[in-house]
Amino acid sequence: MLIVRGVNIYPSAVEDLLRGFAEIVEYQVKVDQSASLPELTLRIELSDGCPDPKAVLRRIQTSLHASFNLRVPIRLAPAGTLPRFEMKASRWRVANRPRR
């Protein structure tokens, strides 16, 4: 579990939400903890036959906001560029806070 801007985020909850979209082939979540409040960024790879990627991105953002009450920036990744993982934990990249 991660706390992002005061919201408990479980990787399994994000996985379940994203797997509800048939257009998503692969995804990767980056957690940036360098600022005072951690931020999420989502990179997704859509299927080749996706007719309207912008509409899918809007639906994903709406679902994320409804589920977690967070606005998560989503970046579209070209087909085949995201690494393939079998475990959801490997899809999460956490950038730690700099030491002071």
**What are the tens digits of pLDDT across the range 59-93?**
999 999 999 999 999 999 998 888 886 665 567 77
> Residue 80 has what pLDDT?
85
pLDDT over 60 (residue 52): yes
CATH class of 2-91: alpha beta
Q: Report the C-alpha gap between 43 and 20 in whole angstroms.
A: 16
Q: Report the C-alpha gap between 85 and 92 in whole angstroms.
A: 10
Confidence of residue 38 (pLDDT cuts 50, 70, 90): confident
Kindly tell me the burial class for residue 42, based on how many C-beta atoms sit within 10 Å of its own C-beta (0-12, 13-18, 19 or more).
Answer: buried
pTM, rounded to two decimals: 0.81
> Residue 98 has what pLDDT?
52
Q: What percent of the chain has pLDDT over 90?
A: 47
